[in-house]
Amino acid sequence: MEKPAIYGGIPIREKKLYYGRQYIDEADIEAVTTVLRSDWLTCGPQIAALEDKLCHMTGAKYAISCANGTAALHIACLAAGVEIGDEVITSPLTFAASANCALYCGATPIFADIDMGTLAIDPEAVRAAITTKTKAVIAVDYAGQSAAMDELVSICQQHGLILISDAAHSIGTKYKGKAVGSIADMTTFSFHPVKSVTCGEGGAVLTNDEDYYRRLRLFREHGITRKAELFEKPSTESWYYEQIVLGYNYRLTDIQAVLLSSQLDKLEMFSNRRKEIITRYREAFRAISGITMQEEIAESETTSHLFVIRIDSEALRIGRDEFIRAMAVENIICNLHYIPVYHHPYYQNLGYQYGLCPNVERVFTELVTLPLHYGMSDEDTEDVIHAVEKIVRYHS
Ligand SMILES: *Cc1c(COP(=O)(O)O)cnc(C)c1O
């Protein structure tokens, strides 16, 4: 039997393999240098070109690019009218930003538990969490697979709630043939380097609603308008503008916009490669009892952002933390998505209790994120599988 490196064996590989990594090619670099030589570094033509492209790709009527995925969530909440006294329901198994955006607006995040199979927010838990104060639901397409949108749309319609889809993981995914971006009232993307496409930092909000679109633009740009029909004090002077709400400077630059446009041209290629890697992972890990994978739903044609497994530490006789440490010594750097949001000290200090969502508590003790990114070779993929098998077999 092979001895894991953590117990003195030879590591599977010498070069570290990380869980995520951007893929930048010469076309990306050329696109950026073109903008650097142009007249506009920000507020220029690349922004409109990118927003058109996002609309075209997703079928959404409007796209508003912005500084990052967190800013996208913040302006989406503002556009939804989330304010002090409101409640916003979201998943506990997400990045803190999905809940922080409600806090930015003075509202209270309410965590609805996840489905144990799909690891996405459970529509029935959402339904049970609705009160007279609920304003919006922020669903998260965990790991790239669409949340149960039919159920969520219908619950939100029934209760007059605004549905925001945090699609930071799922650009390129389709739900029942419809692209993510055109299903919820507003959909937010992130273009951080660990996500499927990147421009360093970046984000966007997509919507089909003109009213949301107007508000999103205002909140992105200091609350300032140059549209004469919105002025309180009419003026036809070319230099005149008005600030009509309290907004932010959440704009993307043209340098980032052109990089993202260039990345979007590769999304299908990125997505296909991710699918290949996952097919191989699923085939290998199905054979290991004690490892569970995220349940796939037929409605979602998924572009995966993450590949997560669950470690049954009793069956495998190795704990989650020990597993991650053992993988690291094999030079395969895993990660964990996510610490339940309400476990963070900030949330604990707000009064959220451990144990609030039993499913997420259980899943959290088992979760491991394995490497998944476009630049991974077949050999890299086999190294990950080999390392998992080696560690698991040693303990069984
Ligand atoms: C990455 C991420 C965000 C935040 O995006 P940034 O661009 O990093 O601000 C929000 N929600 C989820 C689920 C994410 O994974």
pLDDT digits (tens, 9 = 90+) for 212-268: 999 999 999 999 999 999 999 999 999 999 999 999 999 999 999 999 999 999 999
Assessment of whether the complete model's pTM goes beyond 0.85: yes
- The whole-number pLDDT of residue 68 equals 98
Q: Can you tell me which atom of ligand 1 is nearest the CA of 70?
A: 9
**Are the beta carbons of 90 and 112 closer than 8 angstroms?**
yes
- In degrees and rounded to multiples of 5, residue 300 shows phi and psi of -100, 120
DSSP state letter for 343: G
Distance CA 316, CA 320 (A): 10
Ranges 7-11, 103-107, 227-231, 253-257: which has the least confidence: 227-231
Residue 332 confidence class, pLDDT cut points 50, 70, 90: very high
CA dihedral 65, 66, 70, 73 (to 10 degrees): -50
SS3 120: coil
- Quick one: fold of 26-264? Aspartate Aminotransferase; domain 2 (3.40.640)
Residue 128 contacts residue 154 (beta carbons within 8 Å): no
Tell which atom from ligand 1 comes closest to the C-alpha of 192: 7
Give the pLDDT mean for 109-118: 98
pLDDT, tens only, 349-393: 999 999 999 999 999 999 999 999 999 999 999 999 999 999 999
Phi/psi-derived region of residue 382, left when phi > 0, alpha when psi is between -120 and 50, beta in every other case: alpha
CATH number of 5-20+267-395: 3.90.1150.10
Residue-averaged pLDDT of the chain: 97
Q: What is the DSSP letter of 14?
A: S
396 has pLDDT over 90: no
DSSP letter for each residue of 39-72? S-SBSSHHHHHHHHHHHHHH--SEEEEES-HHHH
Q: Whose CA is nearest to atom 5 of ligand 1?
A: 69
Can you tell me which atom of ligand 1 is nearest the CA of 98?
Answer: 11
Task: Give how far Cα 125 sits from Cα of 43, 50, 58, 110, 114, Å.
Answer: 42, 37, 28, 11, 8
Which protein residues are within 6 Å of ligand 1, measured from CB? Answer: 68-70, 94-95, 97-98, 140, 166, 168-169, 190, 192, 203
Buried b / exposed e over 314-345, threshold 16 CB at 10 Å, is eebebebeebbebbbbbbbbbbebbebbbbee
What is the mean predicted confidence (pLDDT) over 310-317? Answer: 96
Say if 5-20+267-395 and 26-264 have the same CATH topology: no
Q: Which residue has the tokens 């329901």?
A: 89
Residue 1 banded pLDDT, cuts 50, 70, 90: confident
The tokens for 277 are 């890697």
Q: Mean per-residue pLDDT for 172-182?
A: 97
Which run of H or of E encompasses 309?
Answer: strand 307-311
Tens-digit pLDDT profile for residues 277-313: 999 999 999 999 999 999 999 999 999 999 999 999 9
Q: Cα of 142 to ligand 1 centre, how many Å?
A: 11
Looking at the CA of residue 97, tell me the nearest atom of ligand 1.
10
CA dist., res. 121 & res. 131, Å (int): 17
- Give Dmax (Cα) for the chain: 81
Tell how far the Cα of 198 is from the centroid of ligand 1, in angstroms: 12
What's the token pair of residue 359? 């499913």
Q: pLDDT tens-digit profile of 60-75?
A: 999 999 999 999 999 9
Residues making up the chain, counted from first to last: 396
Query: 67 near 202, Cβ under 8 Å?
Result: yes
Band of pLDDT at residue 157, cut at 50, 70 and 90: very high
Say how far apart CA 216 and CA 206 lie, in whole Å: 10
Q: What are phi and psi of 201, to 5 degrees?
A: -130, 140
Atom of ligand 1 nearest to the CA of 190: 7
Substitution site in 22, 166, 303, 338 for ligand 1 pocket (most atoms within 8 Å of beta carbon): 166
Domain regions of the chain by residue span: 5-20+267-395, 26-264
Class of residue 2 by CB neighbours under 10 A (exposed 0-12, middle 13-18, buried 19+) = middle
SS3 257: helix
- Return the percentage of the chain with pLDDT > 70, whole number: 100
Closest to 72 (Cα-Cα) out of 174, 167, 180, 172: 167
Ligand 1 centroid, distance to 336 Cα (angstroms): 15
Q: Is the pLDDT of residue 177 over 90?
A: yes
Q: What are phi and psi of 292, to 5 degrees?
A: -115, 145
